[in-house]
């Protein structure tokens, strides 16, 4: 289940970046926007999953690795998805109104 969700997020991020970026500066802008939104997402629901799933941490180290990995990857991928979406809207508005 977690792997399917991460795969779907990865495919969505790749498609959005591929569709949005035309030049090297677009990739740079998406990376900067993703880095800027990362601290906001870390505090959000994708950041620290240990507060949402405390039972996995009460059993010891059994399920900790998967939760930490899924949490980190989902935070990074959602940051890239949001950044690509924002950059696409900025470019669309720039072309239309400039």
Q: What is the pTM of this model?
A: 0.82
User: How far, in Å, CA of 34 to CA of 60, rounded?
Assistant: 33
Domain with 11, as residue range(s), is 2-97
Q: What is the pLDDT of residues 14-67, one digit of tens each?
A: 999 999 999 999 999 999 999 999 888 888 766 666 666 666 555 556 666 777
Q: Which residue has tokens 């979406």?
A: 85
- pLDDT-derived band at 81 (thresholds 50, 70, 90) equals very high
Ramachandran assignment for 60, one of left (phi > 0), alpha (psi -120 to 50 degrees), beta (any other): left
The count of domains in the chain is 1
């Amino acid at each position: 289940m977690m792997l399917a969700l991460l795969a779907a997020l990865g495919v969505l991020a790749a498609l959005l970046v591929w569709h949005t970026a035309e030049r090297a500066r677009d990739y740079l802008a998406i990376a900067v926007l993703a880095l800027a939104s990362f601290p906001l997402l870390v505090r959000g629901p994708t950041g620290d999953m240990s507060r949402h799933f405390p039972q996995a941490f009460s059993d010891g180290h059994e399920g900790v690795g998967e939760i930490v990995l899924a949490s980190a990857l989902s935070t990074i991928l959602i940051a890239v998805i949001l950044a690509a979406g924002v950059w696409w809207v900025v470019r669309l508005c720039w072309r239309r109104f400039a």
